[in-house]
Chains A and B, each alone.
Chain A
């Protein structure tokens, strides 16, 4: 279970706003993050991974507190058990596919071979990223993140740069990986179809806040009544932190 409660001032193309996000994610859930550009989706992933430090935050994953600004607890990204697939894939250009996969790998050669097989990367293992297509790069980035044996998989618009055929193929791959490795996954996506197909739940962000949440099919069928958020104010860990501070 992820408990996420964070606040950070952000400046985007559409101006500045206070990011104030409170939500929970159950283990093995695949949650999609949707919303306009600059609403804080990528920032949310970066805060969760420890790459960005928010002003106020309480982040707990299962029994471990990853961040608690009030008690000055901060677990660096290196110690958070996450796999991150960046929007630009962030493959290391000077390393081959295999070297990229081995870079942060936990586990033995068997696991590496298994992941190479699942992701159809066997024939590409000695190639450098510059010689890979968009889909191949995406698969490599996904494989690299998975080989870290993460508790949480964070995907930042992983399919946005791909054509429809490749997109459909990789949606299946992500779902396969998500189930096979029993991951809790957060995925940023702008595609309604993708969210409908893949997401157990969707969080819709607007101006740095979560404005709607629920099962994707329910959200987009029931347009009249938006589901209020936070869903339960009885959980004290999900009360916006600034109310404690100011």
Chain B
């Protein structure tokens, strides 16, 4: 049986880059939401969490409209993201925003205020306090965010299909490949791909539970 590994490679590349970009965005936005006293905070919170409840097809549709040749992105910057890996990456980052921001935001919000206050009275700036005091104490939540984002990206179907299409070697991710094989009645391949994803999902969830278990025992964080 001829196994095409490119869907796995594309999926993992997409997931890795999404996590990498979202790590920094998630930290910045999580910090903003946790400590901002802006009156517009509820609006930002709602916007950032929209991908949680919106059907992937709706998001995919709007991304496709945004990336289409008529839009300003294309006209002014001569950039076309539709049916490209870059477009897939942008959509994936936006779609996964809440999965990274929420754990960081909740963890920062739950830390005692006195920790950062103590750091300030010890002469440390806000940046130094974030790096040396806050971040080490929200490590388990950041790890949860990373794992959830990675797993969610690997398994995403709706948005990927609408933005990336189904171009082999370019935008065909593992979940699209399963759909493709099933449509072509190649059940053996579909089984194999699905089986690998099943094991992968189990492993990811197991890691997440182990992190949480250690967290509750106080071994980390």
In angstroms, Cα B6 to Cα A90, docked, is 51
Identify the closest chain A residue to B125 (Cβ): A78
In angstroms, Cα B124 to Cα A51, docked, is 13
Q: A77, B218: Cβ atoms under 8 Å?
A: no
Q: Determine whether A94 belongs to the interface, using a CB cutoff of 8 Å to chain B.
A: yes
Q: A78, B117: Cβ atoms under 8 Å?
A: no
Q: B114, A90: Cβ atoms under 8 Å?
A: yes
Enumerate chain A residues within 8 angstroms of B123, measured Cβ to Cβ.
78, 104, 148
Q: B122, A76: Cβ atoms under 8 Å?
A: no
Enumerate chain B residues within 8 angstroms of A103, measured Cβ to Cβ.
119, 122, 124, 132
Identify the closest chain A residue to B114 (Cβ): A90
In angstroms, Cα B122 to Cα A46, docked, is 14
- Given the known interface contacts A94-B136, A130-B218, the answer about A104 and B124 at a Cβ–Cβ threshold of 8 Å is yes
Q: A86, B114: Cβ atoms under 8 Å?
A: yes
Please, what's the 1-or-0 string for A84-108, where 1 marks a CB less than 8 Å from any CB in chain B?
1011101111100000000110000
Q: Determine whether A144 belongs to the interface, using a CB cutoff of 8 Å to chain B.
A: yes
Q: B120, A92: Cβ atoms under 8 Å?
A: no
In angstroms, Cα B132 to Cα A144, docked, is 16
Q: Determine whether A47 belongs to the interface, using a CB cutoff of 8 Å to chain B.
A: no
Q: Is the interface of B mostly helix, strand, loop or mixed?
A: helix
Q: Is the interface of A mostly helix, strand, loop or mixed?
A: loop
Q: How far does the Cβ of A154 sit from chain B's closest Cβ, in whole Å?
A: 8
Q: Determine whether A188 belongs to the interface, using a CB cutoff of 8 Å to chain B.
A: no
Q: How far does the Cβ of B136 sit from chain A's closest Cβ, in whole Å?
A: 4
Chain A-chain B contacts (Cβ-Cβ < 8 Å), number: 59
Number of A residues whose C-beta is below 8 Å from B?
A: 25
In angstroms, Cα B80 to Cα A109, docked, is 60
Q: B218, A51: Cβ atoms under 8 Å?
A: no
Q: Determine whether B210 belongs to the interface, using a CB cutoff of 8 Å to chain A.
A: no
Q: Determine whether A83 belongs to the interface, using a CB cutoff of 8 Å to chain B.
A: yes
Q: Determine whether A185 belongs to the interface, using a CB cutoff of 8 Å to chain B.
A: no
In angstroms, Cα B133 to Cα A149, docked, is 21
Q: B124, A84: Cβ atoms under 8 Å?
A: no
Q: Determine whether B118 belongs to the interface, using a CB cutoff of 8 Å to chain A.
A: yes
Q: Determine whether A82 belongs to the interface, using a CB cutoff of 8 Å to chain B.
A: yes
Q: Determine whether B115 belongs to the interface, using a CB cutoff of 8 Å to chain A.
A: yes
In angstroms, Cα B218 to Cα A20, docked, is 43
Q: B121, A88: Cβ atoms under 8 Å?
A: no
Q: Determine whether A49 belongs to the interface, using a CB cutoff of 8 Å to chain B.
A: yes
Closest 7 CB pairs of A and B: A104-B122, A90-B114, A90-B118, A84-B121, A94-B136, A77-B120, A86-B114
26 sample A-B contacts, Cβ–Cβ < 8 Å, listed by A number: A46-B117, A51-B121, A77-B117, A77-B120, A77-B121, A78-B120, A78-B121, A78-B124, A82-B121, A83-B121, A84-B118, A86-B118, A87-B114, A90-B118, A91-B118, A92-B137, A93-B137, A93-B221, A94-B136, A103-B122, A103-B124, A103-B132, A104-B119, A104-B123, A144-B122, A148-B123
